[in-house]
Structure 1
Amino acid sequence: MPTHVVVFYSLLATAVSTAFLIGGRPEKQVAGMLLAATCFSKLVAWQPLAHFANFEPALFATDVLLLVGLGRVALRSDRYWPIWLTALHAYSVIAHVARALNTDTNVTVYLANSAMTADPGLVLLTVGSWRHWRRRSQMS
């Protein structure tokens, strides 16, 4: 398994477990959304380079639904990290739109642009969960 995939799944496990163990409602909601989007993406694109040769409507739909969910959390939350995560994920959606409009985009560029915000987003979720826990422990 390539290193970047191991790093992603390690960050995903850390972010989701941290969110469910010490996070608040927004952290848990986002963790569930990210986990569901990852599972669905894995089902529809189990061979990324082969699938990213063309525009991926199923992955685009998954990313748009995730963007809407993240935006909803960002609007209802009293935290800053969901806004940053929503903005990062919007970049992935824009990569899909760029590929749909320009089929000459290099496959590797399309794959990298649609996935490059995943790792920083997971770090944001982990830090957001930790900050929530820290804030609650200081109040007690």
Structure 2
Amino acid sequence: MLIGLLFWLLAGLSCGYAIVFGGKDGRWAAFLIIAAALMTIPAARVGRAWGSTEMAIFAVDSVLLFGFYGLMLASRRFWPIWITGFHLIAVATHFSTMLAPAFTPAIYRALESMWAIPIQLTLLLGVELDRRAAKRPLSP
């Protein structure tokens, strides 16, 4: 419950900040995060309470990974690489439960959901660093 509350607080802060102050990359990342979070709500109801691989959540996470990957390739910024890498770890967690079905459900859920926090912090920091870089005068 606490992680869920932290997620939504951080999502509101980081995505709101990216929408208001971020460039095109920040707004796209915010859109992807919000869309995936909203799609995860019904996807979580399809599964079996993390007792085995959550295929619906895996599908949402895979689509999000491809979205982050596209953003990373199109961006001239460094932070989308980090976001994509963090989310790749979350997607790899799904594969670990496919390879080891006896994976403890609590650990699976924790490993799967905890990577959202570094992703959002990276978005927040990346947008802020982009803003600061835009304000600096170019050296001759």
Please give the TM-score of this superposition, normalised by the length of structure 2: 0.91
Please give the TM-score of this superposition, normalised by the length of structure 1: 0.91
Which letter maps to 1:40?
M
**Alignment of structure 1 residues 1-140 onto 2, 5 Å:** 2-46=1-45, 51-139=49-137
Distance in 2 separating the partners of 1:131 and 1:122:
14
Percent identity between matched residues is 27
The DSSP-based 3-state class of the residue aligned with 1:45 is: helix
Once superposed, which parts of structure 1, at least 4 consecutive aligned residues long, lie more than 6 Å away? none
**How far is 1:136 from its partner?**
2.3
* Gapped regions of structure 2 (runs ≥ 5): none
Which letter maps to 1:97?
F
**How far is 1:7 from its partner?**
1.1
Q: Deviation string for 1:53-91 (max 9, x for gaps)?
A: 121111101111111110111111111111011111001
Name whichever of 113-122 and 128-137 sits farther off: 128-137
Q: Deviation string for 1:94-134 (max 9, x for gaps)?
A: 10011122110000111011112110110000111112222
Distance in 1 separating the partners of 2:56 and 2:2:
25
CA RMSD of aligned residues (A): 1.8
Distance in 2 separating the partners of 1:55 and 1:65:
16
Query: CA contact under 8 A between 2:90 and 2:115: conserved in structure 1?
Result: yes
Query: CA contact under 8 A between 1:15 and 1:122: conserved in structure 2?
Result: yes
Query: CA contact under 8 A between 1:92 and 1:117: conserved in structure 2?
Result: yes
Distance in 2 separating the partners of 1:61 and 1:28:
23
Count of residues paired in the alignment: 138
Relative contact order, higher structure (CA 8 A, sep 6+): 1
Query: CA contact under 8 A between 1:22 and 1:132: conserved in structure 2?
Result: no
Query: CA contact under 8 A between 2:72 and 2:80: conserved in structure 1?
Result: yes
* Gapped regions of structure 1 (runs ≥ 5): none
**How far is 1:138 from its partner?**
2.9
